[in-house]
Structure 1
Amino acid sequence: MLPAAIPRVVESVGEGVTELKAGDHVVPIFNGECGSCDYCKSDKTNLCEKYRVNPLKSVMVNDGKCRFRSKEDGKPIFHFLNTSTFSEYTVLDSACVVKIDPMAPLHQMALLSCCIATGVGAVCNTARVQPGSTVAVFGLGAVGLAVVEGARARGASKIIGVDVNPDKLTKGQTMGVTHFVNPKELEKPVHEVIREMTGGGVEYSFECAGNLDVVREAFLSTHDGWGLTVVLGVHATPAMLPLHPMELFDGRRIVGSVFGDFKGKSQLPRLAQDCMRGVAKLDEFITHQLPFEKINEAFQLLVRGKSLRCLLHLSSPHLNSTKP
């Protein structure tokens, strides 16, 4: 859950890049799309053979080298998540750059690089939530609230937000949450409460917390026979799923979703257009703005649960135009 890095305008392009030019408004993406590998040609995945998200990759793909050097000693500064956007200038593989409508407000488009695409896409592409469905969202951070936005746009009849932070209640209701559950205020497991609220469980649950205990509660909160759980949280430990294989025989399913199953370069421009038409309330996600040099304060706001996205800017805090 990173602060919203500064969106981009292309300064120059390298040899062989034909789909972008200087001056284009773009969004960097961590899950790239080369467009030519077997993965990119398949309609069954949004992963790319060469440019899929890889937190351990720290160099450019084509030549295995860095493009950044320290001013002090000339040592390489390694790349991160295909983007390296916490800087005034960056260098990216063209497979990880999405051209967007120049009329789209850049401060809003920064959100498409992660939380909005991940949450809305999980609803529309991965789960394919149907009108009138019941939904539970575990973890009401930026990704979780993007799930809420997607579920609202798809016409879900009941959207249950689950979070241990009571401050998420008001924000969640603003975004479309119809019912709120705080596990700290319950005397029994969350899944039992949700089953009682929905007559057996929700049709779709989304885990957005990166917590294995939450994964299990999300799974058990769905209706047996047809419930689907989508895992979106980042799990940094080597611990395994807290499920017994026989529990899958009750008809509940569980899947993971990367970048909301969007193919970044070919499908994200459409999402940008949809957001400009109001499919998601993008400004609601930007709760703070800080100058770039206060990036550590932005991280602390996230750690303390005080912000959804803190937009970092280089100079003027007035970001209601299309200028970077």
Structure 2
Amino acid sequence: MAPSTPQVITCKAAVAWGAGEPLVMEEVEVSPPQPMEIRIKVVSTSLCRSDLSAWEFHAIFPRIFGHEASGIVESVGLGVTEFKEGDHVLTVFIGECMTCRQCTSGKSNICQVLGLERRGLMHSDQKTRFSVKGKPVYHYCAVSSFSEYTVIHSGCAVKISPHAPLEKICLLSCGVAAGLGAAWNVADVSKGSTVVIFGLGTVGLSVAQAAKLRGASRIIGVDNNPQKCENAKAFGVTEVVDPNSCEEPIAQVIKRITDGGADFSFECVGDTDMITTALQSCCDGWGLTVTLGVPKAKPEMSAHYGLLLTGRTLKGSLFGGWKPKSDLPSLVEKYVNKEIQIDDYITHNLPFDDINKAFNLMKEGKCLRCVIHMPR
């Protein structure tokens, strides 16, 4: 018997109607997947700081946020052969078409076909798959996981082992994977090196975990949130510095306590001024700064040319350099085999109806990751 044609699904979603306004639980209509798309039932989704920043400052509304998610394939569109109903998947905010120049280069994970989607529409036809009472609702980061069901391009999903706990590994959709990859793939942190991390949220602490696993001798965390500083050592940070308690610029502090600067520095805040500080905190000759944060404002950065002339390097990192389909399954297996840690980043587990509480906790700096569990 031929499979039935997918129909419109009506379900619950947390819709943002305006910047900074509380999300509203709405009955939304979710269209069937179009060619090369899949519709998934979201099982667990976590709140990332980029969701918060976009909610506070971006102008595309109404919108369904959320991009760190795990789920189960409910239906597939025409042409999809990689997935079938019932498959367990992670969603990803950048896809992998596996055929474009970037995907085949072996040098990049910035797919030319399924790269960052900023307009809130589907890659394939520049339309939305959500509506409320006939009014279109925009997507976010090609995922929109704050909905019981969502439609994504099949290139923005990764099939994973059914043995991996969906309520944990959703963190590998963005934050934890981004931090691990920044240290391993982008910086290639070496044994015995000194590392400084600006920002001790989930991403920064994932950098710390990765640096520890590589054998870094000193991992210095910089943050002005005392609660985050207190918890950082559990993730591999060997010492913490609070800029508010320093009488000299933080870059000078780092250079003084590291005998001229760190081997590696990571900017995980999303502040372009902090990128300059991170560069200044690196040593001459081989110091490497990696920037991971997404700035809320002031996207332009400036730095004295002498910082680079003396041998420092500045690199950007998107999703830790991981190619989603090629690399994420093995990262999931590392978690299943207890080679990497995810559980300790989850500070709160909340039902879907409490999603606004998750936003408030992140705004107040009282959480790392809030995992939001959808109704079964």
Q: What TM bracket, shorter-length normalisation?
A: over 0.9
CA distance in 1, matches of 2:338, 2:368: 19
User: SS where residue 164 of structure 1 aligns?
Assistant: coil
Could you tell me how far apart the structure 1 residues matched to 2:211 and 2:339 are? 11
Q: Name 1:48's counterpart in structure 2.
A: 111
**1:4 Cα deviation after fit:** 7.8
Shift of 1:244: 2.0
Structure 2: give runs of 5+ residues left out of the alignment.
1-48, 52-65
State the SS of the aligned residue for 1:248.
Answer: helix
**What secondary structure, in the 3-state scheme, does the structure 2 residue paired with 1:12 have?**
strand
3-state SS, counterpart of residue 85 of structure 2: coil
Counterpart residue number, 2:364: 304
Q: Give aligned pairs, total.
A: 313
Equivalence for 1:67: 129
Deviates more, 1:233-242 or 1:35-44: 233-242
Q: Name the residue aligned to 1:267.
A: 327
**TM-score with structure 1 setting the length:** 0.93
Report the secondary structure of 1:167's partner residue. helix
* 1:113-144 Cα shifts (integer Å, max 9, x gaps): 11111100000000001111110000001111
Q: How far is 1:84 from its partner?
A: 0.9
Moved more, 289-298 or 175-184: 289-298
Instruction: Decide which structure has greater strand share.
Output: 2
Distance in structure 1 (CA, Å) of the matches to 2:284 and 2:171: 35
Q: CA RMSD in A?
A: 1.4
Instruction: Indicate conservation of the 8 Å contact 1:33/1:40, yes or no.
Output: yes
Corresponding position: 1:22 with 2:82: no
Is the partner of 1:90 in helix, strand or coil? strand
Residue 171 of structure 1, CA deviation: 1.3
Q: Which amino acid aligns with 1:296?
A: N
* Identity within the alignment, %: 47
Q: Contact 1:66–1:76 at 8 Å: present in 2 too?
A: yes
Identify the residue that residue 258 of structure 1 maps to in structure 2: 318
1:125 and 2:176 equivalent?
A: no
Q: CA deviation at 1:5?
A: 4.9
- Give the residue type in structure 1 aligned to 2:72: V
1:253, distance to aligned residue in structure 2 (A) = 0.8
What TM-score results when the alignment is normalised by the length of structure 2?
Answer: 0.81
Partner of 1:149: 209
1:274-313 matches, within 5 Å, as 274-313=334-373
Counterpart pick for 1:7 among 67, 70, 76: 70
Give the aligned residue type for 1:154: R
Shift in alpha-carbon separation, 1:83–1:311, aligned structure 2, 3 A:
same
What is the rounded CA distance, in whole Å, between the counterparts of 1:292 and 1:216 in structure 2?
39
Q: Larger RCO: Structure 1 or Structure 2 (Cα < 8 Å, ≥ 6 residues apart)?
A: 1
2:357 aligned counterpart, secondary structure: helix
* CA positional deviation for 1:6: 4.6
CA contact under 8 A between 2:288 and 2:313: conserved in structure 1? yes
Residue 78 (str. 1) matches residue 141 (str. 2) = no
CA distance in 2, matches of 1:157, 1:248: 25
- Which deviates more from structure 2 when the two are superposed, residues 242-251 or residues 261-270? 242-251
Instruction: Note if 1:106 corresponds to 2:166.
Output: yes
Q: Relative to structure 1, is the Cα distance of residues 240 and 283 closer, same or farther in structure 2, using a 3 angstrom cutoff?
A: same
C-alpha distance in structure 2 between counterparts of 1:123 and 1:7, whole Å: 24
- Say whether residues 1:32 and 2:95 are aligned partners: yes
Measured in 1, the distance between the counterparts of 2:279 and 2:311 equals: 11
Match for 2:289: what amino acid? T
Residue identity opposite 2:119 in structure 1? K
The aligned counterpart of 2:54 is none
**Which of 54, 57, 81 is the aligned partner of 2:119?**
57
